[in-house]
Structure 1
Amino acid sequence: MPFRALSLLVALAAPLLAMPPIRYTVRFPAPQTQTFEVEAVFPVAGMDEATLMMAVWTPGSYLLREYSGKIERMGGPSGEPVEKVAKNRWRVVTKGADEIRIVYRLYAREMSVRTNWVEKDFAILIGAGTFLTLVDPATGRPAETEHRVQLEPPSNWPRSASGMRSGEAAHSFIAQDFDELVDSPILVGDLAVYPYQVDGKPHELVNLGEGGVFDGARAAADSETLTRAQVAFWGAAPYPRYSMLNAITESGGGLEHKNSALLMSRRFATSTRKDYVRWLKLFSHEFFHAWNGKRLRPAELGPFDYEHENYTTGLWVVEGLTSYYESVLLARASLIDEATLLEQLSEDIENLQGTPGRDVDTTAAASFDAWVKLYRRDEGSPNRSVSYYVKGAVVGMLLDAEIRSATNGKRSLDDVLRAAFTRYAGETGYTSDEFRSLISEIAGVDLAPWLERALDQPGELDYSVFLTWFGLRFTPPKPEGDEPAAWIGAKTAVREGRLFVTEVRRGTPAFDAGLNVDDEILAIDGFRVAPSALDDRLSRYRPGATLEVLISRREKLETLAIPATAKPRESWKLEVDPAAPEMTKARRAAWLQ
């Protein structure tokens, strides 16, 4: 076809393909009732009927949350009915109109980084749980068009913030498509904003609820330092702007987004060194996702299907490696020292080694099963599963040492991530085979067998190369006293003045003897046990004793014979090995540069 004719066809088709933006007005007529209203205008020219949908989950949080259940009412502006055709879909007859207007009210009282919260002083809005969108009849997916948001907050909510581009009017935002809208939480209220520039890009730490207690200035200064360290790690900032939204709500958690992240923090998070390091780790983790997870991602995680599970075995990369680097990059930014870094890494190792599920679950399977395991934990979860966050972080630290050892310190896991970003960031992502092959390519040796053991098989990991390369050891356990206490391995809690079992891990005497969660412990060897005195009573026995434990199980009395043992004395705390060769000092220094 001649170029001129092709150009004419494209020019004629362009107006047909261009769709006007979807427009939302968000109002808070009675925020004290923890509700808010959305008025949405959808362009429907040429459609006999329109289908609207709401996401059922939020990317980064792998659980179907069924947000549509929070809708209290929906209809046209004058109460015209809307037909519900599925749990999260509605159908509207357009009657030849160019646009339709829908109004709905939402209940907002779940304080988390993936759900809405509204009260008299502020609002935290999550895109997936707030905004309906128009379904493209040709693709069955959200329509490819701009989504514009106009907030109408109460007068005592002076500021709003989001990772979206700001519109011309106050409290307005523009998302280029539904993906960006879902990916952009919004804070509205009395916000403290701390702007800074890194790599020529505008950044801001936005604090909601400082209350004169949270040290925003200190947090902002260290946020800038950490931002510079992470941008230096990757080589460039990949976003046009970045907002770290920090909701100080006495809650916890974080969720990554392309141009922002939402943190939930405690009021006194800056008051002690331990709490502040925990907050800095959260910032570091979610910010690292701007590269690893949001732009460099498994192929299965995009384009998102917002109505069903999106399965992948790659969350050990997205979350596990991010969990490893959250602390490493704090050390490289000089925000923590080497000893603190080792403490942080030790916590992950101890967590993993204390989880019996490591012998039955694999790292890859834990990722695939996130939808039914990680976000649906119960008292038996430690016995049948591992966390891809925790085991992924430990795999990351061991893999880093394997690569450094194989290349005599010339390459590291840093090089794998940077090469992966160059090669795979963008629309397609990477497959599991591609990422594993890249690891071997960077290492210069075939690490496929190592990766298979670490990712595809349950069981113990080998710490030897990591310890040897960096000159570390596990702190030797303290010697047992002359009178070691008996140990049965059950966790308990006092409820309403009664002593109940809350967790029994596989491999403990209590597990093998059949002590169950929710059993009430009444007596040992015929003598009543006060609810707060179990540890004291066990200290009266020595390992090897068999305890006759009287329990109440659903109000029926039973006696269990539990052979007590000594508490395991394994130590998983990392420390510098005083006998390590002098060269390991330089290796640790290179690790933290």
Structure 2
Amino acid sequence: METFALLFSPNSLVSRQRQKLRLLAVFLFTISSAFGQKPGGKLAYTVSMEDPASQLYHVSFRCEGGRGDTLTVKMPVWTPGYYQLMNYAKSVENFQATDDTGKPLQWEKTANSRWKIHQKQGQPIRLIYDVRATRNFVAGNFLDENHGYISPAGVFMHPEGQLNQPVTVTLKPHSSWGHLIATGLDSVAGKPHTFVAPNYDILYDSPILLGNLEQLPSFEVKGIPHYFIGYKLGNFDRQQFVADLKKIVEGSVAVIGDIPYKHYTFIAIGPGGGGIEHLNSTSISFSGEQLHSRAGKNRLYNFLAHEYFHHYNVKRIRPVELGPFNYDQQNRTRMLWVSEGFTVYYPYLILKKAGLMSEEEVFSALQQNIASYENKPGHLFQSATQASFATWEDGPFGRSGDEAYKTISYYSKGPVLGAMLDFKIRHETRNKKSLDDVMRALYLTYYQKLKRGFSEKEFWAECEKIAGTKLPELIDYAATTKEIDYPKYFAYAGLAIDAALKELPGAFLGISFDIQNDSLVVMEAEWNSPAWKAGLRKGTVLLAIDGQKATAQALGAMRKDKKPGDSVNLTVSQNNQSKDVTAVLGKQSERRFDIKRLPKPNPLQAAILQAWL
């Protein structure tokens, strides 16, 4: 499981803040004691960065208590929260092994992410290695002159068979940096920049941000402190942002009704990529410049609410396959459409009830999810459960390239299924129950009582128990490519949805393109479109259109001047060979799925809509 918190060094802030820091240190020590963690330990890491411009973390790992005459250490191949193989081991350089006196030990690399060290039985050993940190991404490792970000699965090797052992980590920030460090690891009293984890699951779940950082004002929800700390936050109204962030947290907590952590930290890595959830924090890319427009604020607040709500949905309310983890291979589940998709859906309602998103914006967000799913051919080929299982190969947003048409994104279909399930439960129970009751039941039963994840069968059993009826159609919608009856389900909530197929004006070729070196390069040819049938694929270069140089203007004029059924002659380059092809232009049709209130809802529909919003 992933976990995060915040540690402040007493030397990091001016003297007027020292009393607050001492209180926080007591608070963190209390948490450490509650976990039953003991300082010291037999597995200890030291991470230094004396030359951050080199983008190398220097790691020293002292390991004692090994048995036998060999020790095998491994680097994870992925990190929880990002369902892709990362090949962290490729970034390891200058590996060495010595005994405790510095005498070299024999070792060999027996697999891509595995090293075997020959040792004297029971004697401590020390591993020394560098990790190249060049990927500015929440699942990667990054280091430059001003800050560093550590994704622990990509830095800390673990002894085979010892994942449940306690671990200590000592950090040595560059001397020019501030002393503020953000991490979920609890501090060791009396040892600056030294942290402890009860096991490797917690260690790998606790990224570290350090450098020249900024802390925003903290806030409390139900007496629990929440922090926001980051790098290069940008220019924005910090006071208003923190006030809005507090509303997002309060709205999320209201869904489940319980706060399961002692402190929570939003860790902003600055300009970079992605967001990963943790048990009591989230690691996010962030720029406050987005807050200067309504659209940018909506995107950012939905992103923050999504990552925050994940501490419930996927970290605690989770499929049974997602923990305990196997760090040597993919951990597959058919339920990411719930874990990720529902965590797209809930922020819409959380932000609406917090006054941060309008009714029309909620409708528009769901409309975009439906259109993104339905107007791509992948909905004919892949179900939500299949997309969940295949994400390790396909990626979270489906495949790219020539086979993109065969896949969907559970980020698009998942929130729509969540909304429909919510509407169905409200309808069947006459607005006495909702999807919230399902989420709370899963949290109480599987996280709190059974302390495990739920199976797919158990998930649907809880849904049917709350709804008071069987849900075969919704189960089919998740597990098959069956056509969805949107008007039926949205009408339960007093909403009309336009699912009619509409023909778009102009002739249709079916490509998206980019301009590279003054040439039109096909980025995607839509499946079964005129371009697809003519053999155009991603990477095809358009050289001429009806004998004229291919430009964006010429392509636009062709679409406008020609009509469906007309032919267009294209000169293209594929695999460095030029050829002429003919495409017969067609018609383009799509469904918009605009959502609005029914003009005359019945009393139940009106009540459901009011409660839902």
Q: How does 1:167-182 map onto structure 2 within 5 Å? A: 167-168=188-189, 169-182=191-204
Q: 1:559 to 1:233 in 2, by over 3 A?
A: same
- Measured on the aligned residues, the alpha-carbon RMSD in Å equals 2.4
RCO greater where, 1 or 2, for CA within 8 Å and sep 6 or more?
Answer: 2
Cα distance between partner residues in 2 of 1:520 and 1:86: 41
- Once structures 1 and 2 are overlaid, which stretch shifts more, 338-347 or 457-466? 457-466
Number of equivalent positions:
565
Identity of aligned residues (%): 31
1:444 is aligned to 2:465: no
Residues 252 and 266 in structure 1, CA contact (< 8 A), matched pair in contact too: no
Letter matched to residue 451 of structure 1: L
Residues 71-111 of structure 1: CA distance to partner in whole angstroms, max 9, x if unpaired? Answer: 11111364724332222122223324542222111100011
1:210 is aligned to 2:230: no
Residues 401 and 465 in structure 1, CA contact (< 8 A), matched pair in contact too: no
Q: How does 1:388-399 map onto structure 2 within 5 Å? A: 388-399=410-421
Cα distance between partner residues in 2 of 1:478 and 1:397: 22
Cα distance between partner residues in 2 of 1:243 and 1:38: 26
1:85 is aligned to 2:110: yes
Cα distance between partner residues in 2 of 1:21 and 1:202: 32
TM-aligned CA deviation for residue 19 of structure 1: 10
Q: Secondary structure at the match of 1:39?
A: strand
Q: 1:424 to 1:52 in 2, by over 3 A?
A: same
Please list every run of 5 or more consecutive structure 1 residues that lacks an aligned counterpart in the other structure.
Answer: 1-17, 137-141
User: Where does residue 112 of structure 1 map in the other structure?
Assistant: 137
Residues 83 and 90 in structure 1, CA contact (< 8 A), matched pair in contact too: yes
User: Where does residue 425 of structure 1 map in the other structure?
Assistant: 447
Aligned match of 2:537 in 507, 516, 532?
516
Cα distance between partner residues in 1 of 2:65 and 2:499: 70
Q: Secondary structure at the match of 1:420?
A: helix
Q: 1:478 to 1:52 in 2, by over 3 A?
A: closer
1:365 is aligned to 2:389: no
Residues 19 and 43 in structure 1, CA contact (< 8 A), matched pair in contact too: no
User: Where does residue 146 of structure 2 map in the other structure?
Assistant: 121
Residues 503 and 589 in structure 2, CA contact (< 8 A), matched pair in contact too: no
Residues 503 and 587 in structure 2, CA contact (< 8 A), matched pair in contact too: no
Residues 55-77 of structure 1: CA distance to partner in whole angstroms, max 9, x if unpaired? Answer: 11001111111101101111136
- Once structures 1 and 2 are overlaid, which stretch shifts more, 110-119 or 457-466? 457-466
Q: Secondary structure at the match of 2:325?
A: coil
1:468 is aligned to 2:491: yes
Q: 1:503 to 1:573 in 2, by over 3 A?
A: same
User: After TM superposition, what 4+ stretches of structure 1 lie above 6 angstroms from structure 2?
Assistant: 476-481
User: Where does residue 251 of structure 2 map in the other structure?
Assistant: 229
User: Where does residue 347 of structure 2 map in the other structure?
Assistant: 326
Aligned match of 2:211 in 179, 189, 192?
189
Q: How does 1:163-562 map onto structure 2 within 5 Å? A: 163-168=184-189, 169-193=191-215, 194-211=217-234, 213-249=235-271, 251-374=272-395, 377-425=399-447, 427-447=451-471, 449-474=472-497, 484-562=505-583
User: Where does residue 8 of structure 1 map in the other structure?
Assistant: none
Residues 65 and 123 in structure 2, CA contact (< 8 A), matched pair in contact too: yes
Residues 519 and 550 in structure 2, CA contact (< 8 A), matched pair in contact too: no
User: Where does residue 18 of structure 2 map in the other structure?
Assistant: none
1:131 is aligned to 2:143: no
TM-aligned CA deviation for residue 554 of structure 1: 2.8
Cα distance between partner residues in 2 of 1:516 and 1:229: 46
Residues 492 and 501 in structure 1, CA contact (< 8 A), matched pair in contact too: yes
Cα distance between partner residues in 2 of 1:471 and 1:392: 21
Residues 247 and 264 in structure 1, CA contact (< 8 A), matched pair in contact too: yes
Letter matched to residue 85 of structure 1: T
Cα distance between partner residues in 1 of 2:518 and 2:328: 45
Q: 1:93 to 1:247 in 2, by over 3 A?
A: same
Q: Secondary structure at the match of 1:309?
A: coil
Residues 167-197 of structure 1: CA distance to partner in whole angstroms, max 9, x if unpaired? Answer: 3233232211100000011110122223222
Letter matched to residue 438 of structure 1: E
- Once structures 1 and 2 are overlaid, which stretch shifts more, 348-357 or 469-478? 469-478
Q: Secondary structure at the match of 1:269?
A: helix
Cα distance between partner residues in 2 of 1:170 and 1:342: 50
Aligned match of 2:128 in 103, 114, 123?
103
User: Where does residue 5 of structure 2 map in the other structure?
Assistant: none
- Once structures 1 and 2 are overlaid, which stretch shifts more, 169-178 or 471-480? 471-480
Cα distance between partner residues in 1 of 2:561 and 2:137: 44
Cα distance between partner residues in 1 of 2:482 and 2:467: 24
Q: Secondary structure at the match of 2:58?
A: strand
TM-aligned CA deviation for residue 200 of structure 1: 2.8
User: Where does residue 154 of structure 1 map in the other structure?
Assistant: 174
Residues 28-48 of structure 1: CA distance to partner in whole angstroms, max 9, x if unpaired? Answer: 011011111111111225543
Letter matched to residue 327 of structure 2: Y
Cα distance between partner residues in 2 of 1:541 and 1:408: 54
Residues 501 and 518 in structure 1, CA contact (< 8 A), matched pair in contact too: yes
TM-score w.r.t. structure 1 length?
0.90
Letter matched to residue 435 of structure 1: F
Residues 550 and 559 in structure 1, CA contact (< 8 A), matched pair in contact too: yes
TM-aligned CA deviation for residue 257 of structure 1: 1.2
TM-aligned CA deviation for residue 455 of structure 1: 1.6
Letter matched to residue 302 of structure 1: G
